[in-house]
A = this chain, B = another copy of it.
Amino acid sequence: MTKSEILSLREKHLGKSLSISYNKPLKIVRGEGQYLFDEEGRAFLDCVNNVCHVGHCHPHVVEAAQNQIAQLNTNTRYLHDNIVNYARRLTDKFPGDLSVCMFVCTGSEANELALRMARTYTKRKGVIVLNAAYHGHTTALIDISPYKHEGPGGYPTPEYVHKVTISDGYRGPHKYDDPNAAHRYASEVKAAIKKAQMNEMPIGTFIAESLVSCGGQVEHAPGYLEKAYDYVREAGGVCIADEVQVGFGRVGSHFWGFETQGVIPDIVTVGKPIGNGHPLAAVITTPEIANAFANGMEYFNTFGGNPVSCAIGLAVLDVIEQEGLQARAHRVGSYLKERLSELKTKYSLIGDVRGRGLFLGVEFVRDQETLEPADTEASSIVEKMRNRGVLLSTDGPLHNVIKIKPPLQFSQENADTLVDNLDEVLALNATK
């Protein structure tokens, strides 16, 4: 089918609330490693898809799926090796008492379940979330996602939801050079707890991504989550770490994003990269919280934890371990961040380069003092990079952050391709 035929069928048969990447949409027909190929065989370097975590169509993952799909694909009310093997392998990756998991199909289902668990355990409805947080697309998750409900088609933040400032050392009120930044940001959590108590809807849950994705590829100020968790727990609440975007070794220095902050959450949600594109996600928690949740109301997820999904989940863990992808994310990501930081010294349009491992963000500004967001410029750069065969996209509440989160097979050479092209695009832009 031609692109225009596809576009006209999309127009007719798909909801318009689903957007398409790039002004000149791509028809992608094949994926391999960190590359996507269009209908004419042109290769594109995928710098943005953190779902196909171990590389598009990784042969080990493909084989595991192909074998299991021909054997059995049924629900978890029968016994099967895969689900328990996988539950053991997955929970082994977690510290502390995080030893119980529940398998679901999407990050939204994981965050829904996590929220229900936290509420059942604490018997409290109040939730603290970060400004510009995104946790999923269900009714309850849009309530706790200012990124959605404060945007177009949105609504006022519900009374039970309390927003706190992202501990962003670049654009936030407390800067990278403030040694007390974490403390200052976390004091908002303390204040929110107090306010909720006065409103007689006490806080039961604090939920935050371990590194912030849609909110602008932001690393929390060092020590931020530790202080925030302390306040929440003192007040009888539980802490959910949303690892849907950042987990599974992407941050390089650690397997989980929350480990970079030295905390152990009460509940962790994982998704996107867990199945390399297969609809799989999970909630991991403590026996105490899981047992409180088992209050008589069954939780059954038709497809969650089926033998195919678990075979794929196991294969993804195999690849991460066998190919040393966490170490690679650390090595290549550090190199890439350094090269991007060099670009920053060259172009005043780059306000900030941040992140960790292969989870990086480049924030564009028109003015280094006022930090006026260069949103149209960032979009235009993304389009130009696409035309050069490099796939990126923008995010952040001001739409001026280019996010970089490629499949972990991304190489130093790929990093050079990305930065060299970005350099050229910025140079042309500067001389315009």
Contacts and interface: CB of A to CB of B under 8 A. Distances in A.
Given A84-B9, A152-B296, A303 B279 contact: yes
B298 A17 contact: yes
Contacts of A298: 17-19
Given A77-B21, A78-B28, A301-B106, A87 B294 contact: no
Contact of A106 (B36, B79, B109): B109
A295 B294 CA distance: 38
Contacts of A100: 12-15
B148 A297 contact: yes
A83 B18 CA distance: 12
A357 interface: no
B271 A29 contact: no
A160 B153 CA distance: 22
A197 interface: no
A74 B102 contact: no
Contacts of A81: 1, 6
Given A116-B139, A140-B138, A101 B13 contact: yes
Nearest to A143: B139
B79 A17 contact: no
A299 B17 contact: yes
A15 B108 contact: no
A72 interface: yes
Nearest to A12: B99
Contact of A297 (B151, B299, B301, B303): B151
Given A88-B13, A105-B303, A293-B15, A74 B279 contact: no
A275 to B, nearest CB: 8
Contacts of A105: 105-106, 109, 279, 303
In the complex, the count of this chain's copies comes to 2
Interface in A1-29: 1, 3, 5-7, 9-10, 12-21, 25-29
A151 B72 CA distance: 32
A306 interface: yes
Given A57-B72, A74-B51, A29 B297 contact: no
Given A27-B80, A28-B80, A152 B297 contact: yes
A56 interface: yes
Contacts of A279: 105-106, 278-280, 303, 309
A107 B302 contact: yes
B91 A73 contact: no
Contacts of A85: 1
A287 B18 CA distance: 14
A65 to B, nearest CB: 5
29 contacts: A12-B100, A13-B88, A14-B100, A15-B100, A17-B293, A17-B294, A18-B102, A25-B79, A28-B74, A29-B80, A31-B71, A49-B75, A52-B73, A57-B71, A62-B69, A62-B70, A73-B276, A105-B303, A106-B106, A106-B301, A108-B301, A112-B137, A116-B139, A137-B301, A142-B297, A151-B296, A271-B302, A277-B308, A278-B279
Q: 7 nearest interchain CB pairs?
A: A152-B296, A153-B297, A153-B295, A9-B84, A13-B87, A73-B277, A279-B279
